[in-house]
Amino acid sequence: MSNFNLTELANDLKAQERPGQTPYLWCVYEIDLHPCDPDRTGHYEYEYAWYDNSDPVLYEDGNEMYEALNVVSQGEWTVTIDGNEYEKLCLSRIPKIVTACFTRQAALNYIEANRHNLKRPFVDCISLNRNPEMLGIRDFFKNTF
């Protein structure tokens, strides 16, 4: 879909209509990582990463340095190698909505165009059930163009 073609948007909205199904808003999320206590993460998922205190770099799971530090640390939360101190952190993964789109394809296009600015982007949908304002805007596009 081109940027300003509202007729194309209206056709896409009509095509994704399903009888009895509440319309969706397609949201682009990114993941923010925040230090946390692994015993108090609440309902958020969490992961571990190594942090280099001398050069602010975060080594995440899957990185060779992460694996090496896990081996060298022997279960400890801090390790010093060649004068550099590394600390193992527990990080909660907090999803944050970046933008919302009326179609899934528009959300995917947004990620493609802005991936360089997004941290771990993904698309999920939220229901517009009992949201007359958003349903009205959606219906306006669908029925006007």
- The residue to which tokens 């899934």 are assigned: 104
Clarify whether residues 24 and 37 are in a common domain. no
Kindly state the helix (H) or strand (E) to which residue 134 belongs, with its residue range.
helix 132-144
> How many CA atoms, within 13 angstroms, populate the side-chain half-sphere of residue 78?
5
Residue 42 lies in a domain: yes
Rounded mean pLDDT for each run of 10 residues along the chain, 145 residues in total = 74 84 93 86 84 87 92 92 91 95 95 96 95 94 89
Residue 71 lies in a domain: yes
Please give the structure tokens belonging to residue 139: 């219906």
Q: Which long-range contacts (CB under 8 A, 24 or more apart) does 108-115 make?
A: 109/1, 110/28, 111/28
Q: What is the pLDDT of residue 5?
A: 83
Residue 133 lies in a domain: yes
Domain end among 58, 75, 92: 92
Clarify whether residues 107 and 137 are in a common domain. yes
Clarify whether residues 112 and 131 are in a common domain. yes
Residue 1 lies in a domain: no
Per the structure, the complete domain to which residue 132 belongs is given by: 6-30+96-144
Domain count, the chain: 2
Clarify whether residues 15 and 38 are in a common domain. no
Beta carbons within 8 Å of 134's beta carbon, 6+ residues apart? 25, 128
Clarify whether residues 40 and 83 are in a common domain. yes
Report the 10 Å Cβ neighbour count for 131: 15
Model pTM score: 0.79
Q: What is the pLDDT of residue 4?
A: 63
Contact 134, 25 (CB under 8 A): yes
Clarify whether residues 26 and 74 are in a common domain. no
